[in-house]
Amino acid sequence: MKLISFVLDGKNTYGVVTDEKKVLDLGPLLGERFADLVSLLGNNDLSPVQEALANNPATLDYDELELLPVIPQPGKIFCIGLNYADHVKETNREVTESPTIFLRVAESQVAHNDSIVLPPESVKLDYEGEIAIVIGKGGRRISEEEAWDHIAGYACYNDGSIRDWQTATSQWGPGKNFWKTGGFGPWLVTADEIKPGQELTLVTRLNGQEMQRTTTKFLIHSIPRQIAYISTFLPLNAGDVIVTGTPGGVGAKRNPPVFMKEGDVVEIEVDAVGVLRNTIIAE
């Protein structure tokens, strides 16, 4: 099942995408019970969506909708840094026993087919293709063995980074949180579509040229490990997002470096999930 957040008639709503790329707006049908996609995911039961699909036609054209980031206002966005060995090597870092974690904020995100914004303060806007997971069932101190049960679904993510601001100090926060630099979409593929531990392939393309490729078997800290670690210091809640790490091949570490510029098109593809596409514009 593919779930999206979008704008219709000036109001935020959410829906389900059919195989024919038609959309059923779930807001009017389920809104009294589930105000948004986060509250639906927190129900840990998608049978209301299945019932809505069985009894209502999907009439909206997906390609004509104004999408929002999959989760427009996540309570928390955790990003895992240095989580593939080739990326650790290209950054001259060392593998750490625990995951390296930094935070993003909701205002740094854009939707599929929306524009990533290159700010006037920098020309070092870099791509980072990643796989995002969204939490459904919340919890604290979740064990690795139970972690898969807490995942609502998967999406593509571009952890767009303003490199000179990221490296200006030992803290990465500013460079990872410029307004509208992170892509999140195109939709949430629900966890029942992807088996626990299923190997996923991640590919990043810039203007059609492949820049990154990996699979989840090369993650240093596995997805269950990430969930267990994060939920130790904070409870995870429905709608929280974990961005699981980028592989080698980032633009800043190429020779010569490759940074995104106005007019560029960047795509993040994850098999069994979809393709996230954004165009770069100047602010």
- Residue 231: pLDDT band (50, 70, 90) is very high
For 59-88, write each residue's pLDDT tens digit: 999 999 999 999 999 999 999 999 999 999
What is the average per-residue pLDDT within 1-25? 98
Instruction: Give the pLDDT of residue 97.
Output: 94
Instruction: Give the pLDDT of residue 62.
Output: 98
Instruction: Give the pLDDT of residue 146.
Output: 98
pTM of the model: 0.97
What is the average per-residue pLDDT within 6-16? 98
What is the average per-residue pLDDT within 171-180? 97
For 183, the token pair is 């892509």
Instruction: Give the pLDDT of residue 236.
Output: 98
Instruction: Give the pLDDT of residue 214.
Output: 98
Task: Name residue, tokens 């429905």.
Answer: 238
For 106, the token pair is 């909701």
For 195-207, write each residue's pLDDT tens digit: 999 999 999 999 9
Closest by CA to 26, choosing from 173, 135, 47, is 47
Contact 149, 113 (CB under 8 A): no
Q: What is the share, in percent, of the chain residues with pLDDT greater than 70?
A: 100
- Residue 177: pLDDT band (50, 70, 90) is very high
- The whole-angstrom distance between residue 193's C-alpha and the CA centroid of its chain comes to 17
Task: Name residue, tokens 């997971």.
Answer: 133
**Cα distance from N-terminal residue to C-terminal residue, the chain:** 35
Instruction: Give the pLDDT of residue 84.
Output: 94
Instruction: Give the pLDDT of residue 51.
Output: 98
- Give the H or E element holding residue 23: strand 22-25
For 233-267, write each residue's pLDDT tens digit: 999 999 999 999 999 999 999 999 999 999 999 99
Instruction: Give the pLDDT of residue 136.
Output: 98
Instruction: Give the pLDDT of residue 191.
Output: 98
Contact 14, 26 (CB under 8 A): yes
Instruction: Give the pLDDT of residue 52.
Output: 98
Kindly report the average pLDDT of the chain as a whole number.
97
Closest by CA to 27, choosing from 48, 45, 44, is 48
Closest by CA to 243, choosing from 114, 71, 113, 1, is 71
For 114, the token pair is 């929306």
Instruction: Give the pLDDT of residue 147.
Output: 98
What is the average per-residue pLDDT within 43-66? 97
What residues have CB less than 8 Å from 98, skipping those under 6 apart?
221, 229
- Give the H or E element holding residue 47: helix 47-55
Instruction: Give the pLDDT of residue 49.
Output: 98
- Residue 182: pLDDT band (50, 70, 90) is very high
CA-to-CA distance for 191 and 153, rounded, in angstroms?
4
